[in-house]
């Protein structure tokens, strides 16, 4: 047997306890994605407005973002999450609603940070539309 065949491959780790995590909220105009990671940045679970059953224009609403946040936080609390940091990015309408849902869930928030990328005069914008 070679070394490679002895190595055990685990495609998906089972339910692991995460006492402290990072909650990433990505709020676009069309959808809101809530991702729960451990402190190293490995994804534990995620949810989005589309995965929560909303379709079309309703995915971009604050209520859809609230539902997505609840669907992501509930299982992570079951896994033992007590404390979390929140990283929010994007200009969408769901960012405040998702944060409100996380605050209501009972997780202690040690940090709430806006990590929306802002260009310091980076790329040249596309030319203006002529209609």
Question: What is the band of 17 on the pLDDT scale with cuts at 50, 70, 90?
Answer: confident
Q: What is the largest CA-CA distance in the chain?
A: 68
Residue 43 has pLDDT above 80, yes or no: yes
CA distance 121 to 43: 32
For 18-114, CATH gives 3.30.420.80
Question: Rounded to an integer, what distance in angstroms lies between the CA atom of residue 106 and that of residue 78?
Answer: 12
Strand, helix or coil at 35? Answer: strand
Radius of gyration of the chain (CA): 18
Please tell me whether the overall predicted TM-score, pTM, comes out greater than 0.85 for this model: no
**CA-based angle 49:43:5, to the nearest 5?**
130
Cα–Cα distance, 128 to 58 (Å, whole number): 29
Does residue 88 contact residue 111 with C-beta atoms inside 8 Å?
no
Read off the pLDDT band of 18 (50, 70, 90). Answer: confident
């Amino acid at each position: 047997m070679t070394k490679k065949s002895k190595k055990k491959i685990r495609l998906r780790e089972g339910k692991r306890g995460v006492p402290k995590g990072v909650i990433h909220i990505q709020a676009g105009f069309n959808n809101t994605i809530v991702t729960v990671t451990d402190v190293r940045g490995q994804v534990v679970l995620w949810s989005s407005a589309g995965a929560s059953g909303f379709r079309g224009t309703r995915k971009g609403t604050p209520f859809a973002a609230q539902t997505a946040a609840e669907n992501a936080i509930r299982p992570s609390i079951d896994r033992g999450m007590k404390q979390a940091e929140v990283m929010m990015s994007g200009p969408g309408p769901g960012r405040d609603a998702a944060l409100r849902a996380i605050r209501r869930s009972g997780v202690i928030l040690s940090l709430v940070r806006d990590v929306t990328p802002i260009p310091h005069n980076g790329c040249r914008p596309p030319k203006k539309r002529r209609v």
